[in-house]
Each structure stands twice: as C-alpha cells, then as structure tokens.
Structure 1
Amino acid sequence: MLNISHLNAHFLHSTRFALQDISLQIKPGEKVALVGESGSGKSMLAQLILNLNPHIAVQSGSIEFENKNILSLTQKDLESLRGKDIAYIPQEPLSSLNPLHKVGKQIIESLYLHANELYPHLRGKALHNKAKERLAELLALIGLDSSLAHAYPFELSGGQKQRVAIAMSIINNPKLLICDEPTTALDVLVQRQIMELLSSLAKQSAIVFISHDLGVVREFADRVIVLKDGKIVESASSQRLFNAPQHSYTRFLIDSLTLPKRKALEQTDLDSTRQDIVLRARDLSVGVRKQGFLKSTYKEILSPLSFYLKKGQILGIAGESGSGKSSLALGLLHLLETKGELYLNEKQVKRTKADVKLLRKQISMVFQDPFSSLCPRFRIGDIIKEALGKLPYEECKKQIEWALEMTGLDSSLAHAYPFELSGGQKQRVAIARAVVRKPKILLLDEPTTALDKSSQKLILTLLLELQEKMEMSYIFITHDLEILRILSDEVLILHNGVAVEYGKSERVFKNPQSVEARALIEAFFGSKDDKGEQKQC
C-alpha cells in the first residue's frame, strides 16, 4: 500500500539532512510503529507522507501510495487524497482544532469535503442526515457525550480534544491512518478504548503509529521501526524487537522505561508539624461564572474538596480526562472562580488583588503542552524574563542564566526561539520560567506527557534535583500512575469533578477504597507485576 524508497529530506533553512535514506513498506491492514526520541524524525516522516509541511524539502527518493508518487501529485490530487484515503491524527489537539467552530462541525467537515466521491447519491437533507448519523456514531466510538458536539474546543479537556481529533481523522474510513502520538493526552481508561478502536480500524486500514510509549507500542504494533537522528537504526517485528533488541540505541530506549527513584519523605504526625504545611484547601470548589441577560450564574465543575501540602512533599493528582485535574490547578491560582477556603502558610488567601498576587509569587505552574505554552515570537531569554517582572538588566541576565543552568540548558539558548528546540528542551524552558522566581510550590500539569521516555526520565530526574536544591513542594498532575506511585507522598484521585480517593500514596495504590479509584488503578496496573513492569518484558 505504501512504499517509501531511499528518501532524503531536510528543512528549507538548513542544509543538514533531517531524514536520511529512509526506506520502508506498509501492507494493507498492517500496524507499523515509529519510535525514537524527540527530534529523531518521526513526525517529519509522517507529515511528508501527506506532503503537509511546506518547510521540508525532499532531496531524493519517493513516497508511493497505491503505486502513485505522492511527491509528484498536484495540489488538487493531494486534497482528494487527504482525509479520504490517507488521514492524519496530529500530535497537538490544542492547535489542530479551530477555536471559533463547535467540535461537531469540525468532525463532519471532512465528510462534506469528500461527499461527492464517498456519497455521490446523497444531496441536501439526505447528506445532512448521514453526517448527523455518522457524527453520533463516532462520538459513541471515542467515548464522548453527544452533547459535546455543540461545545467549543476551549470547553473540552486535553484528552477530550485528542478524541475529537481522532474522530475527525477516521470519519471517512481511510485506507491509511497516520497516528502521531494519538494517546499522549489520554488517561489509561480512554487510552485503552482508543487503542481498541484503532485495532478494530486496522482490519480495514493500515496504520502508521507514532508513539513514545513503548508499552502501548509493544501491545499494538505488528512491526516496529526505530529512528535516530533521521535514520532507521532497527526494524523488526514487535515481539523480536522487545525480546532481543539488536541496536544499542533500541536497548537505550527500552532501558528508559525505568523511572528515577526518590527518597521517601519522613512521615510525621500532622498536628505536630502544622508549621510545615505550605498549602491547605478546605471545602474548595471550582467553577465558571456564566453571564446571563439579567444576572450571572455560577456553574460548579469541581465539587468541594480538602487537602494539604507539606514542605518538600509531592501531592499527586490523577483521574480520567475531564475529571477536573487541570480545573483544580487553575482554581488554586485563581484563574478560575473558586468557593471555599485556601490557606498559604496557614494564612487564608482572600480574593483580593494583593492576596492573589502574593499567591502567584509563591506558586508557579508548568503547563501541559510545552509547544503552545511558549510564545513563538519571543526568544528563550525573553520568555524567562517575563516571569521576573521589572528588574535591572544585569540582575535579569544573572537570573536567566541561573534558571537555564538549573534546568540543564546552555546559557546560549537564551538567544534561541522555541521552534529551534526539541520537545524536551521546550519543557525545560517552561520549568526554568517557573522556577526563576524561586517559588515555594511548583504546580505541574502533565509536565512529561508530550515527551518521549528518555526525555521524560531526564525531566523527572531534573524535577527531583530541583526539589532537593530549592526545597520546593510539588503538586503533580499526570495520567501516568506509575510516576505517581514512585514519586508522590500523597495521592488525590478525581472522577467527574469529585474527589473519590485521598491519602498516602502507598495505601491508595495497595488498597483503594472507592470503586472509581480501584477501576483506574486496576486498568493501569492490570498487565503489570508488583514491580510495575510488563509481565512479558
């Protein structure tokens, strides 16, 4: 079905080849995974298959789909191919959805674009009814409520946006589906549902699956291709590659699955160490205020909950997509409206401008998506400087260099732009911006989700080193329960906007009390042994 032969390509502004002598073949119904670190060329190769990136120049080679060279097709032929025969699920759902259109309209757009070819006998109302029927079918398949068809992208969680992007791609039952990190932002329950959906689609479509999650790749792919610096270093069946990797780089990727260890925090009696509590929430709820014609109404999206955070402690927050994890983070910074009580160093934070300003000096946030959390028009130094406010130039320069050094980046990167950095480097910049103000609490919203396993391990190691050096406390939001089990002292599990489990990490993972928490933990660790490793690995 797809035949890539001796492909060499580079970016237009660079003479260095980003893809070198790439050759691979994909048969109908085959599931092929592309793995490698950030910057290895996985996404670049995927985009070239559909000729999506105008900044990539092909030097030599060919990409043939059903014996047609994609690189020589006209724009009209490419438009006919995209979305009908070959579909692409992008890595960043936040930037792939139009913020001005409701998600239902965006999902069925591709169906209307190819209606003449796919449904030549349908017109007008009959075509509209077909689109509505297909939309309802897809929303059920991806596990979204039908009411969300009328929502805008900003009203959805990261995982819900990713599912919408998947629905947009599969609506026309393409022959080849290119999945660029399709489960990155999803919790384990939805991830399993999506992987089952992709497996069922593989009966009628070939799938190119790009992922840094080697556990998912092992279970899903028939064949695995390993890329490093734009070259294929190993290609083998999934079973052979994981059981007997031949290349040293492949062994390095598999070894990266082992997470860094953390020294356990000494557990002392809460009443005797009240002065060590840096943040406390009492019956804190989070919501949004909607302005009506005559009055505004407060809609609660996170029910009242209570927790505390000690100095040097890591509080892990987990839950399915849309459970309220990011809403809680935004509520703690008063970026969403809250009700209830919040205490910083045992002093109540009131909703005055002065108290909120003090709160945001003490709590810094690292956002989920390093690609969209950095302004593309600012240099790295200016991005970090923005967090410092009005400081003398020399003092700013020292602080920027210190933040870059603390996060393991070279000071020369202060003059670079975000697009010149890899995903792992972007996330380090986001962390540098957060720690440059020397906060007491770091609020981390999925800080390793968009990274490959080796970069993820480096970032987690960095965060543990920073915590020890700066004596910070962390609130760590993630879908990866293995990270929480190893790193967190306390765990808070949310489900549909309600706190269903809260307690010591060891107790929660060994003996969860709520049905929802037990289901989430069993879904994640169901195929793992007591050490958290794959049984067959």
Structure 2
Amino acid sequence: MFLLARECVMPLIPVPNKKPLLDIKSLSCGFENGFMVQDISLKVRAGERVALVGESGSGKSFIANMILKLYPHINLKNGNIAFEGRDLLALSERQIRKIRGKEIAYIAQEPLSSLNPLHKVGKQILESLILHCPDLSKKQRLHKLDEVLSQVGLKSELADRYPYELSGGQRQRVAIAMSIINHPKLLICDEPTTALDASIQKQIMELLENLSVQYQIAVLLISHDLGVVRGFAHRVYVAKEGKICESGEVGSVFEKPKNPYTQLLLEALKLPKKSILPSEKKVLEVKHFGIAYAQKRFFFKKNAKMIVNDVNFILQSGETLGIVGESGSGKSSLAMGILRLIESSGEEYLLGQAVSSLSNREFRPFRRDIQVVFQDPYASLNPRMRVRDIIFEALRLGGLANHSDLIGDILDSVGLERRLMGFYPYALSGGQRQRVSIARAIALKPKIIVLDEPTSALDKSMQKVVIELLLDLQEKFGLAYLFISHDLDVIEAVCDRVMVLQAGKVVESGDVKDVFTNPKNPYTQALLQARF
C-alpha cells in the first residue's frame, strides 16, 4: 500500500528523452459549425507527467476525448494522433475499444457521475478487467481486485459498497482503481481533484504520482489549477480558445512565462484581499446550534444522528466569516440550517430578532435579509427561465414590480451587460452564470449572503473575478458574508474570521490571520499542511 503521508512529497525526477508514447501532430478538428481546435501538437513520453491547462472552454477536455476517439461525428481537417506509432484516428471502432481502458485509461472529473449508482464498486472496478481479460478465473479476478484496492489505499471490504456509501475521496480512488487495473500505459486525468477538499486533493495527487513512478504510467493531467500542476507535472501545455499558446518545462513556464495569456493565468493565483473592516452592528447570531438527521430503523423508532452540534458564532455587518473543513464535516448542513431550509435546534437571531421558533410562513419576511449563492450556478438556475425572469423571481417574492430598468441596474452592479437579460443559463459561461446567481441574491438588498463554495466550480482566472466582485459588493452595500469553502487560499484572502468544522463540531475559530499562522488544533494544522 502506498504511503500517503503529507510529508512524503516525491521530487520531480526528469524523464529520459525517449520516443513519444503519445504524439499529437498539427491536429485541427471540431464540430460542424461549432467548437474547433487548431494546429494542436502535444507529446507525452512513457512515465512522463504532462499537464494541459487553460480556462473553461479552451479545449482541454475536447483534446482528451479526441485521444480516446469518443466523438462519433467530427470534422477532421488536418493532423493525427499517434499512440505507440499507430494513428488512433484511423482505427475502427472495434480496434479503438481494445485500446480504451487497457492501454489508455481515463479518470473523469466527478467520480459520482462516472460511477453507476446501482452497482457495487467492486463489480465496476472489475468491468474493464473482464472486458479485456475474459480468460481470467473468478479467483484471479478477485485477487486482482484486492491488489488494485490496496494500490489506491482502500480496504478490500469497500468493494462491497455502493458509490453513495463512500466519501468523495474514496469514490475518486475507486475511479483510479478502475483505470489502472489493466496497467495502462497512458492515464488521462480530467480535473481529477476539482470537487475534492484540500487534504483529499493532496492525497489523490500523491497517489497518481506514486502510480506513475512505480509502474511507469504516463499521465496527461487536465486542470485549471496551476498550483496542482506546479508540483506534479514535468512539462505543461497552455491552451487558449482551441490553440496551444505556450509549452515547456513546468519550471521555466511558471518562472518566465512568455505568452500574455500564461502570465494572466499565473497572475490569477494572486487573489485580491479584503480591505474594509466590519462594523460593530450584529446581524446574525447562533447559540448552541445543531442539525440532526433522522435515521430510519425497520420495525423500530427513528434515531437522530447529529450532523452539526453546538455551534456558536456572531456575524457583524460588513464581516466575512469563513467556514472550512473536509467534505462531510457539516459545512453545508450548517448553512442550510441557518437558512431554515432544514430543521435545526438551538437559537438563531437574525437582525436582533429570534427566529428559531418561527414557522416557515412567519420566517418568510426575513428571507429578503438573508440570501444564498450555491456552489454550482448551472444547477441552481432554472434552465427554462431567461436571466430577467430569474432575477424578477427574487423581486416578485419581495413584492417588487418587474421593471427592466431595475433588473438592468442589478445586472450592472454585478458587471453583466444588459443585453444578457434575454439569455438562458445554458448560453452563459460559468462565470456569467455565477454572476447571475449573485445578482439574484442581492436583488432584494439583503444584509447577509451565505456563499456555499461560490468559486469551486470556476477556473482560477474567473475565480479571481468573482472574488473581486464579492468584495466590491460588500464594500458598496455593507454585506455580511458566511463564506463556506474548502479552498483555504480563498478563505485567507477574503475572510475576517474563520471557523474550522470537524465532524460537525467547531474545533478552532478566531481571526483568520491568527488561525492560519498559528493553528492550535491538530486537525487545523493538517488542513493547512495539505495546501499546494
């Protein structure tokens, strides 16, 4: 089993100058009357770790899917993709199937969506092995299953569980086990850590690095997180609008970037800092706050399981309180309880008034004072509504009329053009959709906004833009933010105070500078050590 201790970070050992395992030459292709990549050239040698970086929509995932020939109808104008000297684009569907999963494996961004919820994970890991090695006996298959689970740091008994019974990190390890069970020569990782918290993210990257070194597996890492790329890859390619604008050794590209776009991506790692101080006006207070979920027992009474227990804090006008912790620590449950979207216990005071005992109907007038921005803007916006209707929905609940000028002013305040009023969510970029979510949240001029991972679904440059917008709105309207995130760099940049949750309990809290420079709790220390 691999040692995944945080202190054991392996050095980047140069790969000998071998003949390329994967060689993409002058590739120009795309969809008819749609997105195209132009003149793409990229090489990966055996055992080498290569990164492909760029903003959303730059063509990174398109290139990965082209390598695996996953697009059935593509307009190929020029170029080829050679793997061990064979042109993958010239292979028949039957021939490419023998390569997929055996010689070239793929790890998707979101493991929960790539795993079948109806099958146990052990069965899913073995699917590729059975397909490519049908002659193996049942005993040999089970031995291979135990072996690969050990390689990715999972216990054998987890093979008998369903995906929903595993944590995010465990699911991603299962996805890795599925991809390496046939000992592929090339592993394509499409944003493998985006949905994971910092400590799990570091473990997964160390695991991929160990596998690459031990089995000489070449890795093509697709990512928008340059911090992850810096310590993992030997070489990097920078994609912009379907073209490669810069490439080279990671050290030289990061230290002396030549292309302005690469410089922009690296500049996005420097996050803006909060400059205003909070006032002494108290806008939210919770005392002995808790969340419990009922667990049903067949033929028995329901048992209550405490998800959040005995949380106490005060939030002042103009203040940003950060809430951090690993996945499953209770961050989002705490937010949903404060928003009165799930049942809670304890005391809650909103703008000085006790709201804990109010019914949903009685609490409704208070909702205009506390709004929320969710993690995934695409999932939280109604796909059947245009932008103006989404914002008007918030205005209507506040008893305001549907005035285009008012909606236009709201769009102006979040930096969106008024012409976007008639657009549907699918026609907007990720950053534009998150701005619409923020516009909806500020439409009724609330005093508090709960931000539940508002930047985790965005690339680094767009993340910086959204953070600048949030800080500007806070300064302009005196907003108080409850900022939930697993990105500790973002928390350090925008928060006044921070609260660390572990298993639903606050293990440490205080001024963000004090906690980050001198953490006292071992759990907080471990979280901070996991930062790239």
Matches within 5 A, 1:227-306: 227-266=239-278, 273=280, 276-292=281-297, 293-306=299-312
For the 8 Å contact 2:237–2:244, the answer to whether it is kept is yes
Q: Structure 1, residues 212-240: CA drift from partner, whole Å, max 9, x if none? A: 22122111110010111111111101111
The percent identity for this pair of structures is: 47
| Equivalent position SS for 2:274 | coil
Q: 1:147 to 1:118 in 2, by over 3 A?
A: closer
Structure 2 match to 1:531: none
Size of the alignment, in residue pairs? 508
Q: Structure 1, residues 308-362: CA drift from partner, whole Å, max 9, x if none? A: 1111110001112222222222222233332222221122222511244345433
For the 8 Å contact 2:152–2:177, the answer to whether it is kept is yes
For the 8 Å contact 2:53–2:60, the answer to whether it is kept is yes
For the 8 Å contact 1:34–1:211, the answer to whether it is kept is yes
1:200 maps to which of 210, 214, 222: 210
Q: 1:390 deviation in Å? A: 6.0
Structure 2 match to 1:460: 467
For the 8 Å contact 1:107–1:171, the answer to whether it is kept is no
Letter of the 2:284 counterpart = L
For the 8 Å contact 2:110–2:192, the answer to whether it is kept is no
Q: 1:84 to 1:333 in 2, by over 3 A?
A: farther
Rounded to whole Å, the distance in 2 between the matches of 1:2 and 1:421 is 34
Matches within 5 A, 1:28-39: 28-39=46-57
Rounded to whole Å, the distance in 2 between the matches of 1:413 and 1:55 is 31
Matches within 5 A, 1:451-490: 451-490=458-497
Question: Any stretches of 5+ residues in structure 2 without a counterpart?
Answer: 1-20
For the 8 Å contact 2:64–2:188, the answer to whether it is kept is yes
Rounded to whole Å, the distance in 2 between the matches of 1:336 and 1:131 is 44
2:31 aligned with 1:24: no
Structure 1 match to 2:359: 352
Rounded to whole Å, the distance in 2 between the matches of 1:160 and 1:347 is 43
Structure 2 match to 1:185: 195
2:448 aligned with 1:441: yes
Q: 1:159 deviation in Å? A: 5.4
Matches within 5 A, 1:409-428: 409-428=416-435
For the 8 Å contact 1:317–1:478, the answer to whether it is kept is yes
Matches within 5 A, 1:5-84: 5-14=25-34, 18-53=36-71, 57-84=75-102
For the 8 Å contact 1:283–1:341, the answer to whether it is kept is yes
Structure 1 match to 2:330: 324
Rounded to whole Å, the distance in 2 between the matches of 1:107 and 1:229 is 39
Q: 1:29 deviation in Å? A: 0.9
Worse-matched range after superposition: 460-469 or 502-511: 502-511
| Equivalent position SS for 2:510 | strand
Question: Any stretches of 5+ residues in structure 1 without a counterpart?
Answer: 268-272, 528-537
Q: 1:263 deviation in Å? A: 1.2
Letter of the 2:239 counterpart = L
Q: 1:507 to 1:388 in 2, by over 3 A?
A: same
Q: 1:429 to 1:95 in 2, by over 3 A?
A: farther
Q: Structure 1, residues 469-523: CA drift from partner, whole Å, max 9, x if none? A: 2221111111222222221111000122221001122221232221211222233
TM-score (norm 1): 0.86
Q: 1:302 to 1:171 in 2, by over 3 A?
A: farther
Structure 2 match to 1:221: 233
Q: CA RMSD in A?
A: 2.9
Q: 1:176 to 1:421 in 2, by over 3 A?
A: farther
For the 8 Å contact 1:140–1:146, the answer to whether it is kept is no
Q: 1:234 to 1:444 in 2, by over 3 A?
A: same
Structure 2 match to 1:534: none
